[in-house]
Structure 1
């Protein structure tokens, strides 16, 4: 279906095309100088000491867990209201995902009180996900982590340059992981980034992302080394320079793009005000956010009513989505579910995601709000 207003639009122009052409003309396509530059620029913009370019955010989460020595028999507390990768990566290292509820319908990030309830002697880490680019309560999470000697991996795939108490998301915990998937704030098709303030963690992950090899092919081709050793079992989780070049262009555009998204969100808050039967998560948050998505939660609704409203919006030419199906409901995780997560279960059935991108006009936002008001009232 061709939508009048799609869910998202790529912020691409000739600059990305020229970046690809430049990389092709360089005849160095795999991980190389542009990947290194992307790591350095992203880390600097994110307030972190080190950046490590990765094939995708799932791989970043996987390597973060490995670098922090999370293994079989350990437990990792994760939100259920997240993309499934947040929980899947815990299984990659043989650990057990322990699902926690969200804070409220107004705050879709992981519940601090439920984290406290879920801690056991086997708990070794927490993975908060910063939903829509709005921070989980990192002050409380870091306090809990310090008290119980836990590691913290920030799933910041929604939040490049988003802030919490003056710090960039991803730079607060032990490791921060970002996604450059095609619909993210920074888009390279596939790809991701890991940031950390620990040289030890960064160096370990650089080994793990490339088969445990002590030098990369670019280093050898540049004359910095002629041989290599393999010092650990690793993976091929490298980014390539084609994507890194696009990522550098996207990073240059990101601050202006996020400022425009902030304006779009203000228009949404004005246009949605007074519509009965909806809750707007993070409505009263004022710290700088990437505004990756624009979620709303329907009041007194279930998935049948939510899906009917989505169909009405689609008939108006407005694309919507759902962020996300609750991970703990998936068949693969049933053996790890211990009790209900009532807030998550309600929101996952009643949430719908409205279009959000920098190029949205005030008139388009008004049209979306008017269409939603009619759809909710029917």
Structure 2
């Protein structure tokens, strides 16, 4: 085993937090209203405006957003949803929770690990009801192309936009898009999520569903705007609280700048890899529109990824893998046996995620690439 380095650790991802977030949280405590209130509403409006949408619905996680998206459009038993296996497991768990069946679709290839339109066509059946896009790594899928496909076959179109916060236009061509503010995302509220739903009636249904199906909120009743309430749908407790919204209002002011920094660092990575380590492939074209959420690279075929990660860690560099294919997880192997997705599997065998966040310097980027080079040599 290599000996650990004395150099400071380069983290895979790190939230940007400081005094503004502390002050925003303290202000909520001083106000004394902690549950869903005015800050949540302001956060929704600012987020919608940034993305070119009419409005947005704040929830307590992107998983909640995905589930409410499906429920608001009555996805349920007997329906099939086309979905990638190259995504976080919540994307497909929520389909199963709805009672529908995920139908795994392969990716285009290792250089563009996005849902394959050709394989999606092959997987269509009379039960196909919807398609779930996933903007892997923050690299945007061609939503217009998929909108045309969905309309051609009478399908609903959803976006898992957990990696794409700040990317204007997401959520404007699909029925609904779901965003994440988890700790490792481009902006964070610790936990938290947001929905953009185009249709106003479906959007209102999502608002009702996030709060137990109730017709009046706690704030409405506290301020005398409502006396009592009715329950008009079978909802959930998926509300966002004022503390998270306060953090969100601070973070979103810097989101676009942070995304710019991520893109600049990604471009520097590409430059250094091309010059010093061309055996490592960077997926997607350099001009592909992206929020640069993560920095995925492809190791040379046959590389022992586990050993590479251990050796990089010994040099003070964190790494990860995005993602183990869902159809290989034990639960999904047992429930959906025999699934083969050649391109997805080929990609996942080689993928390594290296550090990317706004607090990195170009020197850090060069150190990461150098550490990967040493690990590969070893």
TM-score range normalised by the length of the shorter chain: over 0.9
Counterpart for residue 316 of structure 2: 317
Q: 2:217 is matched with which residue?
A: 216
Q: For residue 329 of structure 2, what is the aligned residue in structure 1? A: 330
Q: Give the counterpart of 2:72 among 67, 72, 90.
A: 67
Structure 1 unmatched runs, 5+: none
Q: Which residue of 2 aligns with 1:291?
A: 292
Q: CA deviation at 1:338?
A: 5.0
CA distance in structure 2 between the partners assigned to 1:337 and 1:356 by the alignment = 35
How does 1:181-192 map onto structure 2 within 5 Å?
181-192=182-193
Give unpaired runs (5+ residues) of structure 2: none
Name the residue aligned to 2:199.
198
Other structure's SS at 2:264 match = helix
Aligned-residue Cα RMSD (Å) equals 1.4
For residue 347 of structure 1, what is the aligned residue in structure 2? 347
Secondary structure of the 2:91 match is: helix
- Deviations 1:338-357 (Å, cap 9, x if unpaired)? 53101111222211100000
User: What is the DSSP-based 3-state SS (H/G/I as helix, E as strand, rest coil) of the residue aligned with 1:371?
Assistant: helix
1:112 aligns with 117
- Give the secondary-structure state (helix, strand or coil) at the position aligned to 1:17: helix
Distance in structure 2 (CA, Å) of the matches to 1:224 and 1:193? 25
Within 5 A, what are the aligned runs for 1:110-189? Answer: 110-162=115-167, 167-189=168-190
Provide the secondary structure at the position in 1 that maps to 2:219: helix
Asked if the contact 1:70–1:93 (Cα under 8 Å) also holds between the matched residues in 2, the reply is yes
Q: Check if 1:25 corresponds to 2:30.
A: yes
Q: Is the 8 A contact 2:171 2:196 kept in 1?
A: yes
Structure 2 residue 267 is matched with structure 1 residue 266: yes
Q: Which residue, out of 266, 279, 287, partners 2:281?
A: 279
Instruction: Tell me if 1:308 matches 2:307.
Output: yes
State the Cα distance separating 1:15 from its structure 2 match: 0.4
Do the aligned partners of residues 338 and 76 (structure 1) sit closer, same or farther apart at CA in structure 2, a change above 3 Å counting?
A: farther
For residues 338 and 47 of structure 2, what CA distance do their matches in structure 1 show? Answer: 39
- Contact 2:83 2:102 (8 Å CA) reproduced: yes
Contact 2:296–2:351 under 8 Å retained in 1:
yes
Q: CA deviation at 1:140?
A: 2.1
1:194 and 1:212 map into 2 onto residues whose CA distance is 17
For the 8 Å contact 2:62–2:194, the answer to whether it is kept is: yes
After TM superposition, the score normalised by the length of structure 2 is 0.95
Offset of 1:294 from its aligned partner? 0.2
Cα distance in 2 for partners of 1:137, 1:338 equals 30
Cross-structure match for 1:6: 11
Cα separation, 2, equivalents of 1:88 and 1:375: 35
Give the SS at the match of 1:250: helix
TM-score w.r.t. length of structure 1 = 0.95
Q: 1:226 to 1:75 in 2, by over 3 A?
A: same
Q: Distance in 2 between matches of 1:248 and 1:172?
A: 25
CA contact under 8 A between 2:312 and 2:318: conserved in structure 1?
Answer: yes
1:80 maps to 85
Partner of 2:227: 226
Give how far 1:313 is off: 0.8
SS at match of 2:108: coil
User: Does residue 46 in structure 1 map to residue 51 in structure 2?
Assistant: yes
Cα distance in 1 between the residues matched to 2:262 and 2:280? 21
CA deviation digits over 1:170-226, x for unaligned, max 9? 322110100111111111111100012211111000111111100100111122212
CA distance in structure 1 between the aligned counterparts of 2:332 and 2:239, rounded to whole angstroms = 28
